[in-house]
Amino acid sequence: MIDPLRPSEYTALLIQALRLDTSHVAGARVLEIGSGSGVVLAALGALGAGSLCGVDVEPEAILSGTDLLQSLGYAETAELHHGDMWQPVAGRRFDLIVANLPHFPTLASGFTGRLPSWSNGGPDGRAQLDRFINGLPEHLSPGGRALITHNAFVGLERSREVAADKGLSLRVVTTTMLHLPDEKARRMTESVLRAEDARSIHRYGRHIFAEMHIVEFAAAGGACA
């Protein structure tokens, strides 16, 4: 049976970015929005985070993440909450917030072998992304950072504008290209596919690749370093 919570290439790249710069991890109060399997929180625990908090809309993710973190010895420092994005952590602030949000532009849901919320970001891909950015200032500690995956085809400059409106700066940590599977290519909102073709989406015969960023947010007064 295929694990619907199996980590994706996006998860791997987010973990890699965290491992390459641990300066904001050691001793940090960490929150992951969309914690899924719990593997990103596990990686942060291994890097020395002081506490681990995860939120996910899928009940299966809470069970899976709890099992993983407890098996690795993080039962005393980890907590996972079932709920919608910021709601379970209302009024709380964190030193580091990470997310691999569902932000693929599509009108369809239910990708093969995945849970219903996986990758579905609405017609323009920004349904969860904008909510996340808008909620950051209320949940970042002074000097805190957020690190997320960000598909290039959903509008990096739009994210920069939303962040600036909330007093946040945005820095692209790294950019890479990922293969776009046939199922995703078929389900991508047609207007986005047309607009981004030969820009952030590149075709080589029947093979399609797309650019993806790891993005960091910080309070504008303490610009991303």
pTM of the model: 0.93
User: What integer pLDDT is reported at residue 225 of this predicted model?
Assistant: 40
Distances from the Cα of 44 to the Cα of 22, 99, 207, 211, angstroms: 9, 12, 34, 25
Question: For residues 104 and 120, is the Cβ–Cβ distance under 8 A?
Answer: yes
Confidence of residue 1 (pLDDT cuts 50, 70, 90): low
What's the CA gap between 188 and 135, in Å, rounded?
A: 27
Q: In this predicted model, what pLDDT tens digit does every residue of 141-174 receive, in sequence order?
A: 999 999 999 999 999 999 999 999 999 999 999 9
Question: For residues 212 and 178, is the Cβ–Cβ distance under 8 A?
Answer: yes
User: What integer pLDDT is reported at residue 29 of this predicted model?
Assistant: 98
SS3 86: coil
The DSSP code sequence of 121-184 is --TTS-HHHHHHHHHGGGTEEEEEEEEEEEEGGGTHHHHHHHHHHTTEEEEEEEEEEEE--HHH
User: What integer pLDDT is reported at residue 113 of this predicted model?
Assistant: 74
Q: In this predicted model, what pLDDT tens digit does every residue of 33-69 receive, in sequence order?
A: 999 999 999 999 999 999 999 999 999 999 999 999 9
**The pair of three-digit structure tokens given for residue 71, joined into one six-digit string:** 């098996």
Q: In this predicted model, what pLDDT tens digit does every residue of 68-127 receive, in sequence order?
A: 999 999 999 999 999 999 999 999 999 999 999 989 898 776 777 787 776 788 899 999
